[in-house]
Amino acid sequence: MDACGPAGTQRRIPASRVLLTAIELRLFTLIGEERLTSTEVAEKAGSDPRATDRLLNALCAMNMLAKRDGLFKNTGRDFGYLVDSSPDYAAGLGHTAGMWHAWTTLTDTVRAGRAAGRGDINDRGQAWLEPFIAAMHYRGCLQGDAIAALLPLEDAELMLDLGGGSGAFAMAMVRRKLGLRAVVFDLPNVVPITQRYVDEAGLTGVVSTATGDYLVDPLPAELTWSSCRRSCTATARRRTRRCWPGAPRP
């Protein structure tokens, strides 16, 4: 049977949901390098022991965990990818878990012609925001150096990263150009997360943050010349509205 056909596609949905539930409960991280019973995992996760046991066994059937003598452990193959304390952790999995709930409203979205039940970023809560920024940071770290190499930074002294999220791209720029400073401009609930990533990277003071919505708020005062601020603001808003016609106006 064609694995990419209708039957094969729908059969992958349960396996995806099992994995994403394990990510949301942080089961791989909670097990770490230990060998634990399902009851011990459930105690750490704050979940139901019987349901947790079934979930762990399903993960074993998918070769994402191993089980011996009633004890569950991570596999060496996927350990770094699935344990969130690992530098190789695929942070996008947490965001994918959040996106699952959005995809379940696809039928209503198609009927109505607009996203169903999806609030503004400021209204979606930290449980959605943290994995989203982590996923963007993961991708930004992979792409940042290559993008920085494409930009003419030789004479630059200050850069503005609009909607910069974790600051991954800003950090890549300042690492490439000695003496360059950067300002990451993002929403009030994003900036504390940005600052945490910047501090962890040891770039405090080199990469700073400013709070606001670039669609409606003035840009940071670090942009010394008001004409520069006006030009950057107009350009950013114009390009955003080409991709998002319903964007709010100041």
pLDDT in tens, 188-243: 999 999 999 999 999 999 999 999 987 788 777 766 444 444 555 555 555 555 55
What are the C-alpha distances in Å from 25 to residues 57, 97, 194, 239? 15, 11, 24, 39
Q: Are residues 81 and 174 in the same domain?
A: no
- CATH code of the domain covering residue 62: 1.10.10.10
36-45, 83-92, 127-136, range with the lowest pLDDT: 83-92
Q: How many domains does the chain have?
A: 2
Domain contains 112: no
Tell me the whole-structure pTM to 2 decimals.
0.66
Domain annotation covers residue 128: no
Of 61, 87, 113, which residue constitutes the final position of a domain?
A: 87
The answer to whether position 58 is within a domain reads: yes
- Of 171, 160, 178, 243, the residue nearest 202 (C-alpha): 171
Any domain includes 178: yes
* CA dist., res. 61 & res. 147, Å (int): 41
In a domain, 236, yes or no: yes
H-type alpha helices, the chain: 6-24, 27-31, 38-45, 49-61, 79-82, 92-103, 106-112, 126-150, 168-176, 191-200, 226-243
Q: Is residue 126 part of a domain?
A: no
220 in a structural domain: yes
Please check whether residue 78 is in contact with residue 64, taking contact to mean a CB–CB distance below 8 angstroms: yes
CB atoms within 10 A of CB 137: 22
Give pairs for 109-116: CB < 8 Å, separation 24+: none
Residues 62 and 152 reside in one and the same domain: no
What are the tokens at 146?
Answer: 């290559």
Claim to verify: residue 155 and residue 80 sit in the same structural domain: no
Digit-coded pLDDT (tens) for 49-76:
999 999 999 999 999 999 999 999 999 8
Residue 160 shares a structural domain with residue 233:
yes
pLDDT at 119: 65
End residue of a domain, out of 54, 87, 120: 87
140 lies in the same domain as 65: no
Together in a domain, 145 and 218: yes
Task: Give yes or no: residues 141 and 209 share one domain.
Answer: yes
- Residue 54 included in any domain: yes
- Please give the backbone phi and psi of residue 120, each rounded to the nearest 5 degrees, phi first: -65, 160
200, 223 Cβ separation under 8 angstroms? no
Whole-number average pLDDT of the chain: 83
Q: Are residues 78 and 157 in the same domain?
A: no
Domain membership of residue 175 as a residue range: 135-243
pLDDT, residue 225, reads 45
CATH label of the domain that carries residue 142: 3.40.50.150
CA angle 142-148-152, nearest 5°? 170
Q: CA-based Rg of the chain, rounded to a whole angstrom?
A: 22
Q: Residues 81, 141: one domain?
A: no
For CA atoms 123, 124, 125, 131, give the dihedral sign: negative
